[in-house]
Every structure is written in structure tokens, then in C-alpha cells.
Structure 1
Amino acid sequence: MFTGIIEATGKTISLQRKGSDARISIYTGRLDLSDSGIGDSIAVNGVCLTAVSFAADGFEADVSAESLSRTTLGQLKHDSPVNLELAMRPDTRFGGHIVSGHVDGLGKVLDIRPVGESISLRVQLPNELACYVAQKGSVTIDGVSLTVNAVHNHEFEVNIVPHTQQETIIGHYKLGSHVNIEVDIIARYLERMLQCGKIVTGRANSDDSLLEKIHDMMDDGTAVR
């Protein structure tokens, strides 16, 4: 599990294809790997990877065909900049939101607009992800936890403060850049529970289950009050 607070930026050393999979080598820069070991999780541009070997200033990980097809990792080249975050510890601050490192799909940068010293990004979502992004909710872009300022159909806007521009790869974005998107995991689970028609609790069969009420209201088109 991660928080979406980027700890360092690094660079891609190599991406070697191995059949439908790949082995990626990452230079981690100032990221502290002193307490990391083989088998630990490290997020690269928001993608949770398992470290299989370490060097003094980097690590290697295997990338599955699923990750290559669903994320931007397959597009990385030598010296491509990447966001890095180690898996969270129970004794660290939880400064962002719950990030699993399981990317849901690719977004596309449609607009980059200065707003004071910040910039406003407008990002296009895949149609199937649009319902999971809400105004003032959380979304993860390339591993960065961000607050959604506005939603317009299949597009949303976020504000990037100067610190985030400097400490992440967002400052490298251009119009048309593809980015990894992870939606709020709570929205995912809520949808699944509604699909199942009940929540597994001590009151799962109760007529006044909140989720059952919401499910019924969605079915008959009435508003939730």
C-alpha cells in the first residue's frame, strides 16, 4: 500500500522484453533503499512492482504483460524520468490517500494552464473510469495523490502546486502525454458491494442496510436523501 506522496524521482536505466513480460531497471536517485529488500514493493509511476535485485543506486523488477498493457511502463525508454514511492510503513504519516499501486487505466493530458504559480491539468479518462472520479475526491496520476477540482463528463481537472511540479515528473508533461490513473479504491469496493446487492456485515440481511437502500434507490431512480 502507498500514500501517493512521491519520495523521489528516478530514471529508467533499461526495459528488457522477456516474451510478453519485461525486466525493468530503475536508477532511484536520492530514494533511501537502506531498509529495502528483495520482495519489497516499490511504486514506479504509480505501478506497484516487486524488487528482485538491488544495486547501490537502484533496483530491478519484473513487469507482467498485464502491467505493460494497462500502464505507461512499456513506453519507458533509457533516461525516462519516473516517480518513486516505497510501500508505506505503519509508523509514517499518511499524507495522501489509500493507493494500491494497481493502475486502472491510462489518461491523456488535454490541457496545461498556469494558475498563479500553480498549473491546472485537464485529463481525459477512459469511459469506464469516469464514474469513479468525483469533484473534491482523490485520484492518483502517475503515483501522485491529487484532489479533483472539477469533473466534466470523461474529463477532470487537478491543480499542481509548485512543490509537486518540482518533486515529481508532472513538470515534464506535455499536451497529449499519457499518464497512469488509479481511481479511489473506496469507490471500487462500493460499486462491487452494490453489484452484489448486500454488504457482508452482521446486518447483511437486514432490510435497512444503507447499501441496500442505495441500491434500491438506484434501481427505481429516486434520489438519495
Structure 2
Amino acid sequence: MFTGLVEGRGTVHLLEKNGSAIDLTLAIPEWITNDAHLGDSVAINGCCLTVVEIEVGFLKFQAGAETLAKTNLGLLSPDDQVNLERPLAANGRLGGHFVQGHVDGVGTIKSIDRDGEWITMWFDVPEALALQMVAKGSVTIDGISLTIVESQPASFSIALIPHTLGVTTLGQKQVGSVVNIETDILGKYVQKLIPITSDGFNERR
């Protein structure tokens, strides 16, 4: 379980094909590697992966075919930066929202509107994901817990403060960039319990 509060950034050091999977080695801040153990979970751009090898300053992970199909990890290149978060400690503060690290799919940055130091971003997403979003609700973008400003049938917007732009990879993104999306788990359960018909109304109306 994660919160979507990014702890730091790592840098892609090495990408190696391994059949339909990839081995991903990241250069990681030492304060994370010093506390890492084999088998630990780490959210990389919001995708929960397992530590399979540890070296000083580096952690190695493996991403399978399903992960590559649902996330942007397969689009990474050496020297790209990624957002990092370790799992929530039992005595930790839940400052974001409940994030599983199970990416639902990807979205594409549609527009970037600047207002001084602030930025409003619009994202295009599959309608199935947009259906699980509401204005003022939570969404995870590349592992970052954010609040939805507007929600439309196949897109949504967020407002980014300078701090978020400075400590995460969103400040480096451009129009057309692909990002990982995880919708709020609460919205998924509500949708499961109250199915929506093709005309957009609740079946139990």
C-alpha cells in the first residue's frame, strides 16, 4: 500500500530485454538503497515492483509483459527519471490517498497551461478510466496522488503547484507524454456494486 506522496526520483541506469519482460536497473538515492532489502516493494512511476538485486546506489527490478502492456515502463530509456515511493509504514501518515501500485492503464498529456508558477494539465484517458473519476476526487499519475479539477467522458484536468513540479517528474513532461494512471480504489468498488448502463445511468435507478 502506498500514498502517492513521492519520496524522490531515480534515474534509469540499464534496461535489458528478458524475453517478453525487462530487467530495470535504477540509480537510486542512497537513503533508499541503504534501507532496501531483497523482495521489498517500491512504486516506480506508480507501478509496484519487487527489488530483485541491490548494489550501492542501485536497485534492480523486473517488469513482466502484463506490466509493460499497462504502464509506461516499457517506454523508458537510459537517463530517464522516475518517481519513487516506498510502501506506507504501519505507523506512517496517510497524506495522499490509498494507492495500490496497480496501474490501471496509461493516459496522454493533452495540454499544459501555465499561470505563473502553477500549471494546469489536461490528460486524455480511456473512457473506462474516466468513468471512475469525479471532480475533487483523487487520481494517481505516475505515482503522484493528485486532485482532479475537472472530469469529462475521456479526459480530466489537474492543477500542479510549484512544489509538485519540482520534486516529481511531471515538471519535465510535455504534451504527448504518456503517464501511468491508477484510479481511486473506492471508485472501483462503487462502480462494481452499482453498475452503469451504456446510456450512462445507474441500472438500479
Q: Does 1:42 align with 2:50?
A: no
Preserved contact between residue 70 and residue 103 of structure 1 (Cα < 8 Å): yes
Q: Distance in 2 between matches of 1:89 and 1:149?
A: 29
CA separation in 2, counterparts of 1:182 and 1:163?
22
- Please list every run of 5 or more consecutive structure 2 residues that lacks an aligned counterpart in the other structure: 196-200
Q: Distance in 2 between matches of 1:68 and 1:15?
A: 13
1:179-194 alignment runs, 5 A limit: 179-194=179-194
- 2:172 aligned with 1:172: yes
The amino acid of 2:191's aligned partner reads E
| Higher-Rg member (1/2) | 1
CA distance in 1, matches of 2:193, 2:170: 34
Give the distance between the partners of 1:2 and 1:30, measured in 2 at CA. Answer: 20
Residue 74 to residue 134, structure 1, CA distance change in 2 (3 Å): same
Percent identity for Structure 1 against Structure 2: 38
The residue that corresponds to 1:150 in the other structure is: 150
The answer to whether 1:5 aligns with 2:8 is no
Give the structure 1 partner of residue 59 of structure 2: 59
Given the two structures, how large is their TM-score scaled by the length of structure 1? 0.85
Aligned partners of 2:15 and 2:24 also within 8 Å: yes
Q: CA deviation at 1:22?
A: 1.2
The 8 Å contact of residues 42 and 48 in structure 1, kept in 2 or not, is answered as: yes
- Partner residue in 2 for 1:130: 130
The structure with higher relative contact order (CA 8 Å, sep 6+) is 2
How far is 1:42 from its partner? 0.3
State how 1:1-225 maps to structure 2 within 5 Å: 1-29=1-29, 31-194=31-194, 218-221=202-205
Shift of 1:96: 0.4
Q: How many residues align?
A: 200
8 Å Cα contact 1:7-1:31 kept in structure 2: no
Structure 2-normalised TM-score?
Answer: 0.93
Cα distance, 1:74 vs. partner?
A: 0.4
Partners of 2:89 and 2:134 lie apart in 1 by 28
Q: Which residue of 2 aligns with 1:213?
A: none
Work out the CA distance in 2 between the residues paired with 1:40 and 1:70.
22
Question: Are the equivalent residues in 1 in contact too, given 2:194–2:204 (CA < 8 A)?
Answer: no
Alpha-carbon distance in structure 1 between the residues aligned to 2:173 and 2:28: 20
Please state whether the residue corresponding to 1:218 is helix, strand or coil.
Answer: coil
How far apart, CA to CA, are the structure 1 residues paired with 2:116 and 2:147? Answer: 18
Distance 2:46 2:31 in 1: 15
Which ranges of structure 1 fall in alignment gaps of 5 or more residues?
Answer: 196-216
* Structure 1 residue 56, shift from structure 2 partner: 1.1
SS at match of 1:24: strand
AA partner of residue 41 (structure 1): S
CA positional deviation for 1:10: 1.0
Alignment root-mean-square deviation, CA:
1.4
Q: CA deviation at 1:31?
A: 4.6
